A and B are shown apart, each in its own frame.
Chain A
C-alpha cells in the first residue's frame, strides 16, 4: 500500500489506525477464504479440525484470526510512526470487509 509523507493535521500519525483498519479487512476476508477452502478441500478440512467437538470451524477461525493478527502486527511495525494515504487504505479495508461478509454467505461461497 502506498504511503505518503505529508504532514497530518493530527498530532498522532495515522499509521497506527491504518494498520488496524487494513488488518481487520484482511482478517475478515481471510476468515471467509479459509472457510471456503476447508469446505472445498476435504484434506484441508481434516487438517483444520483442531478441536474435534467443534470440527473444522475451530481451525478455520483460529487460522483466520492468526492471519488477521499477523497482518495487523506487520502493518503496525511498518506504519506506526508514519502518516499514510488513509483514503485508499480505508477504501481497500472496506472492500475486503464487504468481500469477507459476502463470501461467508453460503450461496455466494458455493459459487467457488
Chain B
C-alpha cells in the first residue's frame, strides 16, 4: 500500500513533467542533467510499481484469501471469507478485489513501456507527437489503474483488514 501511494504521487509528477518538457512549444534546451533526472525518476517509478504488484500478489493476497479451519466462527483473520459471509459486504470482494487484483498489473506494464521510450528517445519525443501522446495516455491509464487498486485496497482494508501472520492456510477446494 505504501509503494502504491508513492507511485500515485510520483505518477502525477511524471505526467506533468513529460507533458511540459516534451510538448512542441516546451522549454528550449533541455539539459542532459534534466534528462537524466527524468530517466532516473521513471526508472524508480517502474521499480515501485513492480514492487507494489509483486508484494500485493505474493505477500498480501495469500493472507487475504486464507481459508479458515472448519468450524471457525470468528472470520476476522480471513478477509475474503469475512466479506463473502455477508450480502452487505460481498461486493467488496466480487467487484472490488476482483477488479483490483487484475487492473493493478496494467500500471507496471504502462510505466515500464514509458520508461523504455523515454530512455530511448529523450528530447526527440518532441518531434514524435504521436509517440509522446500515446505514452502520456498510458501513463494516465497507469495512474487510473493504480488509483482504482489503491481505492479498493483502502476500502477492503476498512471492511476486512488483512492482518497477516506466519502461517497461511491455502485454498484446497476442488483438489
Contact = CB atoms under 8 A, between A and B. Distances in A.
Contacts of B94: 106
B168 interface: yes
B113 A53 contact: no
A86 B130 CA distance: 7
Nearest to B65: A55
Interface in A17-56: 17-18, 20-21, 23-24, 27-28, 31-32, 35, 42, 46, 51-55
A72 B59 CA distance: 28
B113 A23 contact: yes
A104 B62 contact: no
A111 to B, nearest CB: 14
A2 interface: no
Interface in A59-112: 60-61, 64-65, 68, 72, 86-87, 90, 93-94, 97-98, 100-101, 104-107, 109
Interface residues of A, number: 47
Interface string B160-175: 0000000010110010
Given A28-B109, A57-B61, A106-B95, A12 B120 contact: yes
Nearest to A17: B131
B122 to A, nearest CB: 9
Contact of B137 (A86, A97, A106): A97
B127 A10 contact: yes
B20 interface: no
Interface string B95-113: 1001101110110011011
A28 B102 CA distance: 10
B15 interface: no
B44 interface: no
B138 interface: yes
Contacts of B171: 52, 55
A18 B128 CA distance: 11
Nearest to B111: A24
B95 to A, nearest CB: 5
29 contacts: A12-B124, A14-B130, A17-B128, A21-B134, A23-B113, A24-B109, A24-B110, A24-B113, A28-B106, A28-B109, A28-B110, A31-B106, A31-B109, A53-B62, A53-B65, A57-B57, A57-B102, A60-B102, A61-B53, A87-B130, A90-B133, A94-B137, A97-B138, A101-B106, A104-B102, A106-B94, A106-B99, A107-B95, A109-B98
* 6 cross-chain pairs, A with B, having the tightest CB-CB distances, nearest first: A53-B62, A90-B134, A24-B113, A104-B102, A86-B130, A104-B103
Given A51-B58, A52-B171, 8 more contacts: A16-B121, A23-B113, A24-B138, A32-B102, A53-B61, A53-B170, A60-B102, A100-B106
